[in-house]
Amino acid sequence: MSRRMNQLITVGFKKWCYNISRFNQYGLWRDDLLIEDADVTEALRRLPQELKDQRNFRIVRAIQLDANKRILPEEEWTKYEEDVHYLKPYVDEVVKERKEREAWEAS
């Protein structure tokens, strides 16, 4: 297979997995679902207040929808292309700092 064909299959598979997970039907983003370990908790603490408020709104709305056994109308679902890794830069920074601290303490 050509490289282009492999990329198309990979993107198509990613979109399929994204849609079959169904969290997008509640309006959630991928980073809303991260398990809150120590690194993610610190990253959330560093997140600007506006992003925290948006995240909390999405999570509360998803909980309410799930409790009522409903989903959002399809036009309000989070699209694969629109999903943003808003927390990833903060988590990466926290992990880098932790590893530097561990290396410093080990030496």
Over 90: is that where the pLDDT of 61 sits? yes
Q: What's residue 3's pLDDT? A: 72
Distance CA 87, CA 31 (A): 6
Banded model confidence at residue 65, pLDDT cuts 50, 70, 90: very high
Q: What is the mean pLDDT of residues 37-45?
A: 97
Q: What is the pLDDT of residues 66-76, one digit of tens each?
A: 999 999 999 99
Q: What share of the chain in percent tops pLDDT 70?
A: 95
Q: Going from the N-terminus, what domains does the chain have, and what CATH number goes with each? A: 11-106 (1.10.1090.10)
| Residue 83 CB-density burial (10 A; 0-12 exposed, 13-18 middle, 19+ buried) | middle
Tokens of 10: 């990979």
Q: What is the largest CA-CA distance in the chain?
A: 55
Cβ distance 96 to 43 under 8 Å?
A: no
Q: Is residue 77 predicted with pLDDT exceeding 60?
A: yes
Contact indicator for 21, 62 with CB cutoff of 8 Å = no
The pTM assigned to this predicted structure is: 0.84
